Amino acid sequence: MNALLKLDRVNAFYGSAHILHNLSLTVKPGERVALVGRNGVGKTTVVNTILGLAALRGGQIHLGAHHLARPRPYVAAQHGIVVVPQGRRIVANLSVEENLHLGAAVGRKGPWTVPEIYKLFPILQERAHTPGTALSGGQQQMLAVGRALMANPSLILLDEPTEGLAPVIVDQLADIFNRVAAQGTALLLIEQNMSLVVRVAERYCAMAKGAVVAEGPVENSRASLHDLEAHVMV
């Protein structure tokens, strides 16, 4: 079985700045993987390289059986890989429901429709005709996740999804991520909240200096949380 996402010795740059150094990472169908590490080690650059926002200048990226020679945002989506970006990036002047429909533009068929998103996030149905940017931070994150699901992806890349959110909202999102994963969607969770990582991920990859330096299983225990926090401080 092909991995949904495979980065093999990837080197990526912003201009002349060399950010990713021979980075290798794999996510298999149905897996829940956490990418952890302190700020500035290149976690978001992994996402940006897949989307073509950082320059790939060495190594290979595969989306399933497809060799991603020229990364572009729409190419990833066409192959079932979507991103919930850091900062959410809700489109201003569009309603909640209109933002959701943007996620379906790629045209992939699957179980996720607007009614199904509303079952997952009832608050979005209550505010369906409200401008997306008028929602609270937690509600905007729910909208960003719902928009990603509308593409009926095989893999969702979640870039710091709990940044700036209250603990009660983080708890709700942990439950949502597990429910989405239980339906077969793989997750790559880029996150500094280690309690969320322990609740959602089954495997971690720890980054330092633009490369994956450690990986292993995540166990739902205090010992695992301590180990993961140690990796974030690398």
- What does the pLDDT look like over 209-225, one tens digit per residue? 999 999 999 876 555 65
Q: What is the mean pLDDT of residues 152-160?
A: 95
Distance CA 213, CA 228 (A): 13
Domain ranges (residues) in the chain: 31-50+72-232
What does the pLDDT look like over 67-94, one tens digit per residue?
Answer: 998 888 888 988 999 999 887 788 888 9
Q: Is 75 exposed, middle or buried (0-12, 13-18, 19+ CB in 10 A)?
A: middle
Cα atoms in the Cβ-side hemisphere of radius 13 Å centred on 24: 5
pLDDT digits over 11-62, tens only?
Answer: 999 999 999 999 999 999 999 999 999 888 999 999 999 999 999 999 999 9
The whole-angstrom separation of Cα 110 and Cα 30 is 15
Of 15, 59, 34, residue with least CA distance to 156: 34
Q: Predicted confidence band at 231 (pLDDT cuts at 50, 70, 90)?
A: low
For residues 42-59, one letter each, b for 16 or more C-beta atoms within 10 angstroms of the residue's C-beta and e for the rest, the string is bbbbbbbbbbbebbbeeb
Average pLDDT value for residue range 127-155: 92
**pLDDT of amino acid 227:** 67
Q: What is the pLDDT of residue 55?
A: 95
- Per-chain mean pLDDT for the chain: 90
Class of domain 31-50+72-232: alpha beta
What residues have CB less than 8 Å from 49, skipping those under 6 apart?
A: 7, 10, 12, 20, 55, 56, 61, 71
Residues paired with residue 186 on neighbouring β-strands, in sequence order: 155
* pLDDT value of position 177: 94
87-109 CB burial, b ≥16 within 10 A, e <16: ebebeeeebbbebbeebbebebe
d(CA 191, CA 75): 24
Q: Where are the alpha helices (DSSP H) in 31-136?
A: 43-51, 73-78, 96-103, 114-120, 122-126
